[in-house]
Amino acid sequence: MTAKKKTKSVKKAERWQDVDVHELAKLEINQRLTDEEKVRLYTDMVRIRRFEGRSLRSYQEGKIGGFLHLYEGQEACAVGTISLLGADDHVITAYRDHGHALAVGMSMNECMAEMYGKHTGCSKGKGGSMHFFAPDKNYWGGHGIVGGQIPLGTGIAFALKRQGKKGCCLAYMGDGAINQGAVHEAYNLAGLWDLPVIFIIENNAYSMGTSQARSSAYPECLAQRAEAYGMDWDTVNGNILYDVRAKTYEAIKRAHEESRPTVLEVFTYRYRGHSVADANHEKYRSKDEILDYKENKDPITLTRKQFIEEGVLTEESAKDIDKAAMEEATASAEFADKSPFPPATSILEDTYWSMDNKGQDPQIDELNQGRFIFEDGGVYDK
Amino acid sequence: MPQITYRQAIKEALAEEIERDPNVFVMGEEVAQYNGAYKVTEGLWEKYGDKHLVDAPISEAGFIGLGIGASMLGMRPVMEFMFWSFCYVAFDQLLNNGSFCRYMSGGLMNVPIVVRGPANGGTNVGATHSHTPENLCANHPGIKVVCPSNAADAKGLMKTAIRDNDPVFVMENTVLYGQKWEVPEEEYLIPMGKANILKEGKDISLIAHGRAAITALEAAGKLAEEYDIDAEVLDLRSIRPLDVEAILATVKKTNRVVYVEENKPFASVGAQITSIIQEEAFDYLDAPILRVSTIDAPQIYSMPLEKIQIPDADRVVKKVLKIC
C-alpha cells in the first residue's frame, strides 16, 4: 500500500466562516433531503439540546454523579455528520458523547438512566456519562481519555477495509485531543495504510480552560496537520447544518470510493463549561463571547430559520417540536429516577466474556476451567 | 515426540491459527518483511502475505489501539511487542481500552485481542528493556495474563489465547526462545487457568510462573541431589485466570512454600499468591512463605551483576534451606 499524497495550499482558518446557506442548500447532498428528513434532523438537534438541559438539572439535583460534559451549542455537528451514514459506517467519540448517542438513535431513556447509574442504562450503569455504547447502532462509545478513542476508530476502519466492506469510521475528538501523541500515531497509520477513517475535530475553542493560542504551536488551523500525514483536510462551519453535511459527504465519498482518510475541523462552540464542574468557564472566556454565539450563531436557531424559509417548518411546528423534546427529556429523567440501581452482584459481571457466557460454548468452558477472579467478599458473597 | 524451540512453537501456533481463522492477523514492528526481531514470525509473511502479517511503524499506542478497534469488529489481532518493555507507551490503549471497554459497555462489546512478546530480564540490555509487567497487567480486571515457561505450553496457550474472546496478554521470554522441548505433533490446546505440576514432591512446594518455573525445576534437582529434599514444582502458566485450586492443593500436600519469580518483589505476583495462601490455607503451613524474586532495583546492565539480580537455582536452594 502506498499513500497518495494530496495536500492543499496553506490557509488560515477562521473560527467563524461565512458560508452561503443558500448556495449550500443547492448542493446535491442537501437537495436530496426530503422535508420529512429535514424535520427529523431539526428534531434531533432540539432533542439533544433539551436532553442536555434536563441532564444538567438532574446533575444539579444530585441525581447524576461524576462529570457531565454537555453538548449544547454543538448539535449540528453530531446530527449533520451522522445523518450521512450507511449500514457499514461507524461512529466513535470522546467523553462529550450524548449528542452522538442520540443522533445514532439511542433513546433518551437509556442514556439518562446510564447517567443516573441505573440498571436500565445503556451500559447497565457501568459507564456513566462519558461511556455510552451501542454497537448494534455502530456506535462504539463514549471514551474518557482525551484522544484515546482515535486509534480505536482507526482500527475500526482497518477492520472494514480488511473485511472488504465499503464503510468508514467517523472518529470524533475535541480540539484538545489534537496534541495527544496517540492521535498523531493514528493519523500516520491512517495516511500510511489508506484507511477509510474520518477524523472529526470538534473545535469548540477551548481545551477545558485553555484556548488554542495557549495550547497549540500552530493554532490557526488544527486540521492542516493532516498534511504531514498525507491526508486530505477541510474546515467546516459547525453551526450550519448544510455545511456540515456537505463537507462530511465529501469525506465519506473519499473513504468509500478511494479508501482515503480525511481530517475535518468543525468550528463549533460549547455554551457550558468543559464539564458542569468547570466553574471558571466565564473567566477564561467572556460572557459577551458566549452571548454572541447564542444570539447570532446558534446552530438550532440558524437551522430553524433556514427551514422556515424553505417552508419545511413553521414557528408553530418548531414550537411543537421543542415541546415534545422537552417532554421526552422530562420523561427520561422520570424513567431514570424510577429505574432500579444494578444489583451488587453486577459489579463482577461483564468483566470477561468467558465468565459471562459460561455454558453457552462447551469448548470455551473447557478452556476456562479453573478460572479465578479476585473478589471482594464484602461486596459480593458467592 | 519431536523437540522444537520455544520460538518455533509460537510460530506454529500463529501459523495454525492463521490457517484456521481468516480474521487472524499478526501486527507489530518488523514482524513481516524483516521476519521478526526475534524471528518468531520468520517465514510467515512469505507464506501468508500482507493480509495476515502487517509491519507496523514504531507507534505502539497507535497500533495497539488500532488492533483493539479492529477486534471490536470481529478481527482476531495478534499484536507483537518487540519487547513488553515497550508496553508503557501504549498503556492507555492496553489498560483503559483493552481491559475496560467490555465492562464500561455493560458487556455489549468484546475485545478478542492477543498482545504478545518477550517480557524478561537477563539479556544484559539495561533497565528500560528488562521489564516484567505481568503483575501490573494482571492488576487490571478484564485482561488475562499468560506466562508460558516452555515450548509446549507456549504453543498450546497461544492457540487458546487467539481463540479466546477476551484480551489476553502473553508474556514470552527471549532466554527461552532458543531452548527446545518436546511438543506434540497433533493439534492441542492448553486451557488458561490450569497450573501444571512440573515435578511431584512432598517436602516443599516451589510455585512459579514463566522462566522462573524452569529455575525452580533446576533448584528442585539440586535439592534432591544435595540435600535429599523432595520439592514439588508448580508452574502457574497463567496469572489471570489463576489456578487457586492447584496452589492450595500443593500447599496442603507439602506444607511449605517458596514462590519463585522474575518479577520485582514489591507488589509482585508472588506477593499476591502469598496473600491467597495465608488466607485460604493458613492452617496447613508449617513455615512462613518465602519468595525469591529479582532483586528490587532497576535492572542492572553489568552482565555478572544482572546474573545475581535475577533468581537462579542456587538462590532458590538457599531460600528453601531456611524453612526445610
Q: Please count the residue pairs, one from chain A and one from chain B, whose beta carbons lie less than 8 angstroms apart.
A: 195
pLDDT of residue A281: 82
Query: What is the percent of chain B with per-residue pLDDT over 70, rounded to a whole number?
Result: 100
Point out the catalytic residue in the list B12, B17, B29, B60. Answer: B60
Strands B238-240 and B290-292: unpaired
Residue A3 has pLDDT above 60, yes or no: no
Three-state DSSP class for residue A214: helix
pLDDT of residue A4: 46
Backbone region of residue A276 per phi and psi (left: phi > 0; alpha: psi in -120 to 50; beta: other values): alpha
Residue B114 pairs in a beta bridge with B78, B168
pLDDT of residue A357: 83
Alpha carbons within 13 angstroms on the beta-carbon side of residue A75 total 26
Residue A8 has pLDDT above 60, yes or no: no
Q: Residue A255 — φ and ψ, nearest 5°?
A: -70, -45
pLDDT tens digits, one per residue of A344-375:
889 989 999 888 887 766 555 544 433 333 33
Query: What is the percent of chain A with per-residue pLDDT over 90, rounded to a whole number?
Result: 77
Q: From chain A, pick out residues whose CB is under 8 angstroms from the CB of B240.
A: 372
- The predicted model gives A275-289 an average pLDDT of 86
- The predicted model gives A225-243 an average pLDDT of 96
Strands (E), A103-158: 139-142
Average per-residue pLDDT in chain B? 97
Residue of A149, A228, A242, A164 whose CA lies nearest to A196:
A164
pLDDT of residue A364: 54
pLDDT of residue A378: 30
Within 10 A of B19 (CB to CB), how many other CB atoms are there? Answer: 12
Average per-residue pLDDT in chain A? 90
Euclidean distance between CA atoms B280 and B270, whole angstroms: 15
Residue A279 has pLDDT above 90, yes or no: no
**Residue count (chain A):** 382
Q: Which of A78-82, A269-273, B177-181, B290-294 has the lowest mean pLDDT?
A: A269-273
pLDDT tens digits, one per residue of A37-75:
999 999 999 999 999 999 999 999 999 999 999 999 999
pLDDT of residue B236: 98
pLDDT of residue A361: 62
pLDDT band, very low/low/confident/very high, at A211 (cuts 50, 70, 90) = confident
Residue A381 has pLDDT above 90, yes or no: no
CB B60 within 8 A of CB B87: yes
Would you give the end-to-end CA distance of chain B in angstroms? 37
Instruction: Kindly list the distances between the CA atom of residue A214 and the CA atoms of A221, B67, B153, in Å, as whole numbers in the listed order.
Output: 14, 34, 54
Of A144, A181, A357, the CB nearest to B61: A181
Strands A169-174 and A197-203: parallel
Residue B291 pairs in a beta bridge with B259
pLDDT of residue A12: 59
Residue A104 has pLDDT above 80, yes or no: yes
Euclidean distance between CA atoms A239 and B51, whole angstroms: 42
Euclidean distance between CA atoms A254 and A197, whole angstroms: 10
Euclidean distance between CA atoms B153 and A136, whole angstroms: 37
Instruction: Kindly list the distances between the CA atom of residue A287 and the CA atoms of A47, A70, B259, B308, in Å, as whole numbers in the listed order.
Output: 25, 18, 64, 66
| A158, A163, A348: best to mutate for the B interface, most B CBs within 10 A | A158
Q: Which of A17-21, A73-77, B296-300 has the lowest mean pLDDT?
A: A17-21
Q: For chain A, what is the radius of gyration of the CA atoms? A: 21
Q: Three-state SS string across A330-375, please?
A: HHHHHHHHHCCCCCHHHHCCCCCHHHHCCCCCHHHHHHCCCCCCCC
- Is B140 tagged catalytic? no
pLDDT band, very low/low/confident/very high, at A280 (cuts 50, 70, 90) = confident
Of A145, A159, A356, the CB nearest to B107: A356
Contacts of A114 (CB under 8 A, 6+ apart): A121, A122, A123, A125, A127, A128, A129, A132
Q: Report which of residues B291 and A219 the model is more confident about.
A: B291
User: Which chain B residue has its CA at the smallest distance from A150's CA?
Assistant: B65
Residue B20 at interface with chain A, using a CB cutoff of 8 Å: no
- Range 80-139 of B in CB contact (< 8 A) with A: 92-93, 96-97, 101-110, 112
Strands B180-182 and B3-5: antiparallel
pLDDT tens digits, one per residue of B14-30:
999 999 999 999 999 99
User: Which chain B residue has its CA at the smallest distance from A88's CA?
Assistant: B73
User: Could you give the ipTM of this predicted complex?
Assistant: 0.95
Q: From chain B, pick out residues whose CB is under 8 angstroms from the CB of A160.
A: 73
Q: Residue B202 — φ and ψ, nearest 5°?
A: -125, -15
Strands (E), chain A: 90-93, 139-142, 169-174, 197-203, 206-207, 210-211, 232-237, 262-267
Measure in Å the smallest separation between the Cα of B276 and chain A Cα atoms. Answer: 10
- The predicted model gives A289-295 an average pLDDT of 93
Encode A19-35: b = buried (16+ Cβ within 10 Å), e = exposed: bebeebeeeebbeebee
| Contact flag B160-A367 (C-beta cutoff 8 Å) | yes
Euclidean distance between CA atoms A93 and A103, whole angstroms: 12
List for chain B the helix, strand, coil content (%; round to 5): 40, 15, 40
pLDDT tens digits, one per residue of A140-199:
999 999 999 999 999 999 999 999 999 999 999 999 999 999 999 999 999 999 999 999
Residue B52 at interface with chain A, using a CB cutoff of 8 Å: no
- Is B60 tagged catalytic? yes
Q: From chain B, pick out residues whose CB is under 8 angstroms from the CB of A148.
A: 65, 92-93, 96-97
CB A264 within 8 A of CB A273: no
Of A121, A148, A367, the CB nearest to B97: A148
- The predicted model gives A331-355 an average pLDDT of 93
Helix (H) or strand (E) holding B247: helix B244-254
Burial class from Cβ neighbours inside 10 Å (0-12, 13-18, 19+) for residue B303 reads exposed
Measure in Å the smallest separation between the Cα of A272 and chain B Cα atoms. Answer: 26
Take residue A359 and report the three cell numbers written for it.
455454558
Residue A276 has pLDDT above 90, yes or no: no
